Amino acid sequence: AQSVTQLDSQVPVFEEAPVELRCNYSSSVSVYLFWYVQYPNQGLQLLLKYLSGSTLVKGINGFEAEFNKSQTSFHLRKPSVHISDTAEYFCAVSSANAGGTSYGKLTFGQGTILTVHP
């Protein structure tokens, strides 16, 4: 079984400050990792994903995340946030199947609400 823990339920920051949203996962097999963003009363939009290769993944809107296998983490970072980044962020994990080619069903974390203050 796999699980995801987002360590902070809410993160308040000031505009132009850096931010890190933390995500830890557990899985007994190889994983694929995702970060999604959700604006109020809307669906989820993919920010970035880690499938293989470089552990530093760059996504949309200036976000990046680093896959750390030894610490089973996939923290999301942005060096300078904007008011428009205010939203809820979800980390998700899926496990590779025996063939290592497919993503597996997604398991989501509980979400982190990022609030950017002027």
Partner 1 sequence: DGGITQSPKYLFRKEGQNVTLSCEQNLNHDAMYWYRQDPGQGLRLIYYSQIVNDFQKGDIAEGYSVSREKKESFPLTVTSAQKNPTAFYLCASSIFLEGEQFFGPGTRLTVL
Which part of the chain contacts partner 1 (CB under 8 A), choosing from 19-27, 64-72, 76-84, 95-103? 95-103
Binding to partner 1 by residue 44, rule CB under 8 A? yes
Q: Provide the pairing of β-strand 87-95 with 112-117.
A: antiparallel
Binding to partner 1 by residue 13, rule CB under 8 A? no
Binding to partner 1 by residue 22, rule CB under 8 A? no
* Residue linked to tokens 């007994």: 28
Cβ proximity to partner 1, 22 vs 49, nearer residue? 49
CA distances, 89 to each of 31, 40, 83, 96, 101 (Å): 19, 11, 15, 23, 26
What is the rounded CA–CA span in Å between residue 4 and residue 13?
Answer: 23
Cβ proximity to partner 1, 85 vs 89, nearer residue? 89
* Residue linked to tokens 């132009």: 16
Paired tokens of 92:
């998700």
Binding to partner 1 by residue 94, rule CB under 8 A? yes
Binding to partner 1 by residue 7, rule CB under 8 A? no
Residues that bind partner 1 (CB under 8 A): 4, 9, 34, 36, 41-46, 49, 90, 94, 97, 102-106, 108-111
